[in-house]
Protein backbone atom coordinates (compact mmCIF):
# COMPACT_ATOMS: atom_id res chain seq x y z
CA UNK A 1 0.00 0.00 0.00
CA UNK A 2 1.14 3.55 -0.61
CA UNK A 3 0.27 7.02 0.58
CA UNK A 4 1.63 10.21 -0.89
CA UNK A 5 0.92 13.78 0.10
CA UNK A 6 1.93 17.31 -0.76
CA UNK A 7 3.10 20.03 1.53
CA UNK A 8 3.06 20.16 5.28
CA UNK A 9 0.81 17.98 7.36
CA UNK A 10 -0.18 19.02 10.85
CA UNK A 11 1.27 17.31 13.89
CA UNK A 12 -1.54 15.49 15.68
CA UNK A 13 -2.17 16.07 19.37
CA UNK A 14 -0.58 13.57 21.75
CA UNK A 15 -3.30 11.42 23.34
CA UNK A 16 -3.74 12.19 27.02
CA UNK A 17 -1.50 10.20 29.33
CA UNK A 18 1.01 9.20 26.67
CA UNK A 19 4.54 10.28 25.99
CA UNK A 20 6.35 10.26 22.68
CA UNK A 21 9.97 9.90 21.70
CA UNK A 22 12.13 8.76 18.82
CA UNK A 23 13.11 5.08 18.72
CA UNK A 24 16.55 4.31 20.10
CA UNK A 25 18.75 1.28 19.40
CA UNK A 26 18.40 0.33 23.07
CA UNK A 27 14.66 -0.19 22.49
CA UNK A 28 15.17 -3.60 20.85
CA UNK A 29 14.00 -5.61 23.87
CA UNK A 30 10.90 -3.45 24.43
CA UNK A 31 10.09 -3.56 20.72
CA UNK A 32 10.59 -7.32 20.59
CA UNK A 33 8.18 -7.76 23.48
CA UNK A 34 5.71 -5.39 21.84
CA UNK A 35 6.01 -7.26 18.53
CA UNK A 36 5.44 -10.67 20.19
CA UNK A 37 2.40 -9.37 22.09
CA UNK A 38 0.91 -7.50 19.13
CA UNK A 39 1.17 -10.47 16.74
CA UNK A 40 0.22 -13.29 19.13
CA UNK A 41 -3.02 -14.93 18.01
CA UNK A 42 -3.44 -12.71 14.93
CA UNK A 43 -3.25 -13.42 11.22
CA UNK A 44 0.41 -12.32 11.41
CA UNK A 45 1.30 -14.87 14.11
CA UNK A 46 3.70 -17.35 12.53
CA UNK A 47 4.61 -19.05 15.79
CA UNK A 48 7.63 -16.90 16.53
CA UNK A 49 9.03 -17.02 20.02
CA UNK A 50 9.76 -13.97 22.15
CA UNK A 51 13.43 -14.44 21.27
CA UNK A 52 12.54 -14.49 17.54
CA UNK A 53 10.70 -11.19 17.99
CA UNK A 54 13.66 -9.72 19.87
CA UNK A 55 16.00 -10.78 17.06
CA UNK A 56 13.65 -9.22 14.46
CA UNK A 57 13.44 -5.96 16.42
CA UNK A 58 17.21 -5.79 16.82
CA UNK A 59 17.76 -6.58 13.13
CA UNK A 60 15.26 -3.89 12.10
CA UNK A 61 16.88 -1.26 14.32
CA UNK A 62 20.30 -2.10 12.90
CA UNK A 63 19.29 -1.87 9.26
CA UNK A 64 18.08 -5.28 8.05
CA UNK A 65 15.19 -3.68 6.13
CA UNK A 66 17.26 -0.64 5.24
CA UNK A 67 18.43 2.46 7.08
CA UNK A 68 16.16 3.58 9.89
CA UNK A 69 14.48 6.95 9.33
CA UNK A 70 15.28 7.92 12.89
CA UNK A 71 13.24 11.10 13.14
CA UNK A 72 10.08 9.32 11.97
CA UNK A 73 10.47 6.06 13.94
CA UNK A 74 8.62 6.61 17.19
CA UNK A 75 7.50 4.98 20.41
CA UNK A 76 4.47 5.84 22.52
CA UNK A 77 5.05 5.57 26.25
CA UNK A 78 2.71 5.11 29.18
CA UNK A 79 4.35 5.34 32.58
CA UNK A 80 7.73 4.83 30.94
CA UNK A 81 6.70 1.58 29.20
CA UNK A 82 6.53 1.27 25.41
CA UNK A 83 2.89 0.63 24.45
CA UNK A 84 3.11 1.27 20.69
CA UNK A 85 5.68 1.98 18.00
CA UNK A 86 6.14 2.82 14.35
CA UNK A 87 9.38 1.99 12.57
CA UNK A 88 10.11 3.66 9.23
CA UNK A 89 13.07 2.78 7.05
CA UNK A 90 14.52 3.41 3.61
CA UNK A 91 13.58 0.09 2.01
CA UNK A 92 16.82 -1.45 0.73
CA UNK A 93 14.84 -3.94 -1.39
CA UNK A 94 12.87 -1.24 -3.22
CA UNK A 95 15.16 1.60 -4.27
CA UNK A 96 15.28 3.12 -0.76
CA UNK A 97 11.59 4.09 -0.85
CA UNK A 98 10.32 5.07 2.63
CA UNK A 99 8.64 2.04 4.20
CA UNK A 100 6.50 1.74 7.30
CA UNK A 101 8.22 -1.48 8.37
CA UNK A 102 6.25 -1.91 11.60
CA UNK A 103 3.25 -0.33 13.27
CA UNK A 104 2.67 -2.10 16.58
CA UNK A 105 0.33 -1.50 19.50
CA UNK A 106 0.16 -3.62 22.63
CA UNK A 107 -3.23 -5.41 22.60
CA UNK A 108 -4.16 -3.78 25.93
CA UNK A 109 -3.89 -0.36 24.23
CA UNK A 110 -5.44 -1.14 20.85
CA UNK A 111 -8.57 0.60 19.53
CA UNK A 112 -7.77 3.83 21.38
CA UNK A 113 -6.35 5.75 18.41
CA UNK A 114 -2.71 5.30 19.44
CA UNK A 115 -1.66 3.57 16.19
CA UNK A 116 -3.45 6.20 14.12
CA UNK A 117 -1.75 8.97 16.08
CA UNK A 118 1.72 7.43 15.74
CA UNK A 119 1.39 6.92 11.99
CA UNK A 120 0.11 10.48 11.53
CA UNK A 121 2.98 11.83 13.64
CA UNK A 122 5.46 9.79 11.61
CA UNK A 123 4.02 11.23 8.39
CA UNK A 124 4.30 14.74 9.86
CA UNK A 125 7.95 14.11 10.67
CA UNK A 126 8.64 12.56 7.27
CA UNK A 127 7.25 15.73 5.68
CA UNK A 128 9.65 17.82 7.77
CA UNK A 129 12.46 15.68 6.31
CA UNK A 130 11.23 16.40 2.76
CA UNK A 131 9.63 12.97 2.29
CA UNK A 132 6.14 12.94 0.77
CA UNK A 133 5.34 9.26 0.33
CA UNK A 134 5.25 6.15 2.46
CA UNK A 135 4.76 2.50 1.56
CA UNK A 136 3.78 -0.49 3.66
CA UNK A 137 2.83 -4.13 3.32
CA UNK A 138 -0.16 -5.59 5.11
CA UNK A 139 -1.23 -9.22 5.32
CA UNK A 140 -4.39 -9.95 3.34
CA UNK A 141 -7.26 -10.24 5.82
CA UNK A 142 -5.53 -8.22 8.54
CA UNK A 143 -7.81 -5.87 10.48
CA UNK A 144 -4.98 -3.29 10.22
CA UNK A 145 -6.04 -2.84 6.60
CA UNK A 146 -9.01 -0.72 7.74
CA UNK A 147 -6.64 1.59 9.63
CA UNK A 148 -4.42 2.05 6.58
CA UNK A 149 -7.45 2.70 4.37
CA UNK A 150 -8.71 5.37 6.82
CA UNK A 151 -5.28 7.00 6.78
CA UNK A 152 -5.36 7.33 2.99
CA UNK A 153 -3.09 4.46 1.95
CA UNK A 154 -4.02 2.92 -1.38
CA UNK A 155 -3.26 -0.48 -2.81
CA UNK A 156 -0.55 -0.60 -5.44
CA UNK A 157 0.43 -3.40 -7.83
pLDDT of the residue at 157? 73
* 89-93-96 Cα angle (round to 5): 50
Of the pLDDT bands very low, low, confident and very high (cuts 50, 70, 90), residue 56 is very high
Residue of 132, 128, 130 whose CA lies nearest to 152: 132
pLDDT of the residue at 11? 81
The H-or-E segment that residue 121 falls in is: helix 114-128
pLDDT of the residue at 143? 84
For residue 68, pLDDT over 90 is answered with yes
Task: List, for residues 88-125, the tens digit of each pLDDT value.
Answer: 999 988 889 999 999 999 999 998 899 999 999 999 99
pLDDT of the residue at 14? 83
For residue 153, pLDDT over 90 is answered with yes
pLDDT of the residue at 121? 95
SS3 74: strand
* pTM given for the model: 0.91
Instruction: Return d(Cα 87, Cα 74) in angstroms, integer.
Output: 7
pLDDT of the residue at 30? 96
Of the pLDDT bands very low, low, confident and very high (cuts 50, 70, 90), residue 8 is confident
Average pLDDT, the chain: 91
Say what angle helices 50-61 and 28-39 make with each other, to 10 degrees: 130
Cβ 27 vs Cβ 75: under 8 Å: yes
Can you tell me the mean pLDDT for 33-53? 84
Can you tell me the mean pLDDT for 13-24? 91
Task: List, for residues 81-98, the tens digit of each pLDDT value.
Answer: 999 999 999 998 888 999
Amino acid sequence: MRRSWEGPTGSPDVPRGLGLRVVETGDARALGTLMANAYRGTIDDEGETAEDALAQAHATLTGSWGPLIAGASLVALRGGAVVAAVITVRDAQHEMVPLLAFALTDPRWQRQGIGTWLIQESIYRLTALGITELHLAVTRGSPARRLYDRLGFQEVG
